[in-house]
Chains A and B, each alone.
Chain A
Amino acid sequence: MNTNILILLKRFIPLGIFSVLILGCERDLDDLNPVTYPANPEVFIDGFSAGLNYSAFGGSVPTAFDVDNKETYNNSKASMRIEVPDANDPRGAYAGGVYFTEVPRDLSGFNALTFYAKASQSATIDLVGFGNDPGASKYQATVSGLGVTTGWRKYIIPLPDPSKLTAERGMFFYSVGNEDGKGFTFWIDELKYENLGTIAHPQYNMLNGEDQVETSVIGVSKTIGGLTLIYNLPTGINQVVNAAPAYFEFTSSDESIATVDAFGKVSVIGGPGNAEITAQVGGKVVNGSLKIQSMGAFQHAPTPARDPDRVISIFSEAYDNVIVDYYNGYWAPYQTTLSADFEVNGDRILHYTDFNFVGTQISPPYVNATSMTHLHLDIYIPNTLSANAQFRVELADNAGGGTGLFTTTIPVAQSQQWISLNIPLTGFTGLSSRTALWQIIFVDVSGNISSFYADNIYFYDGSPPTAPATAAPTPTHAAADVIAVYSDAYSVIPGTNLNPGWGQATVVSGILIQENNTLKYSGLNYQGIELGSSQNVSGMEYLHLDFWTANSTALNIYLISPGPVETGYSLTVPTSGWTSIDIPLSSFTPVNLNDVIQIKFDGNGDIYLDNIYFRKN
Chain B
Amino acid sequence: MKTINKLREIRIRYIFLLFLIAFIGCERDDFQKLDQRNWQLVWSDEFNDPAGVLPDASKWTFDIGTGQSGWGNQELQYYTNNPANVSTDGEGNLVITAIRSGNSFTSARIKTQGLFARKYGRFEARLKTPYGPGLWPAFWMLGENIETNPWPQCGEIDIMELRGQEPHIIHGTIHGPGYSGGNPVTKSYALINSRFDIDYHIYAVEWDENKIDFFVDDYLYHRIKRSDVPGEWVYDQPFFIILNVAVGGNYVGFPTSQTPFPQKMIIDYVRVYTEQ
Contact = CB atoms under 8 A, between A and B. Distances in A.
Interface string B154-192: 000000000011111000000000000000000000011
Contacts of A235: 133, 165-166
B62 interface: no
A236 B256 CA distance: 11
Nearest to A203: B260
A200 B197 contact: yes
A236 B193 contact: no
B11 A236 contact: no
A144 to B, nearest CB: 15
A201 B164 CA distance: 14
Contact-residue bracket for chain A: 10 to 19
A232 B192 CA distance: 17
A4 interface: yes
Interface string B112-129: 000000000000000000
Nearest to A235: B165
A201 B194 CA distance: 12
A576 interface: no
Contacts of A236: 131-133, 135, 164-167, 259
Given A4-B7, A198-B168, A200-B131, A234 B259 contact: no
A8 interface: yes
Nearest to A237: B258
A232 B260 contact: yes
A238 B258 contact: yes
B41 interface: no
A200 B197 CA distance: 8
A234 B258 contact: no
A237 B259 contact: yes
A34 interface: no
A8 B12 CA distance: 10
Nearest to B260: A238
Contacts of A503: none
Nearest to A4: B7
Interface string A220-244: 0000000000001011111000000
Nearest to B256: A237
B42 interface: no
A493 B258 CA distance: 97
A30 B195 CA distance: 39
B198 interface: yes
A8 B11 CA distance: 8
Interface in B219-276: 256, 258-260
A197 B191 contact: yes
A338 to B, nearest CB: 26
Contacts of B197: 200-201
**Binding site secondary structure of chain A:** loop
Interface string A1-32: 10010001000000000000000000000000
Contacts of A207: none
B190 to A, nearest CB: 10
Interface in A230-287: 232, 234-238
B198 A200 contact: yes
Contacts of A232: 131-132, 260
Interface string A371-389: 0000000000000000000
Contacts of B131: 200-201, 232, 236
A196 interface: yes
Nearest to A8: B11
B193 A234 contact: no
B259 A200 contact: no
A154 B132 CA distance: 18
Contacts of B259: 236-237
Interface in B39-91: none
Contacts of B164: 236
Contacts of B7: 1, 4
A527 B7 CA distance: 155
Nearest to B168: A198
B34 to A, nearest CB: 27
Contact of A200 (B135, B165, B195): B195
Given A4-B7, A236-B167, A197 B193 contact: yes
Interface in A435-449: none
A4 B133 contact: no
- Residue of B133, B166, B195, B198 with most partner-chain A CB within 10 A: B195
Contacts of B256: 237
B11 A196 contact: no
Interface in A177-210: 196-198, 200-201
A234 B131 CA distance: 10
Interface string B83-121: 000000000000000000000000000000000000000
Contacts of A8: 11, 15
A198 B260 contact: no
B193 A198 contact: yes
Interface in A324-342: none
A236 B197 CA distance: 10
Given A4-B11, A236-B135, A197 B194 contact: yes
A198 B195 contact: yes
13 contacts: A4-B11, A197-B192, A200-B131, A200-B195, A200-B198, A201-B131, A201-B198, A234-B195, A236-B131, A236-B132, A236-B133, A236-B165, A238-B258
Given A4-B11, A200-B197, A237-B132, 17 more contacts: A197-B191, A198-B195, A200-B131, A201-B197, A232-B132, A234-B167, A234-B168, A235-B165, A236-B164, A236-B165, A236-B167, A236-B259, A237-B133, A237-B256, A237-B258, A237-B259, A237-B260
Interface of B: 7, 11, 15, 131-133, 135, 164-168, 191-195, 197-198, 256, 258-260
Across chains A and B, which 10 residue pairs bring their CB atoms closest together, nearest first? A197-B193, A197-B194, A237-B258, A236-B132, A236-B165, A236-B131, A236-B164, A200-B198, A236-B133, A235-B165
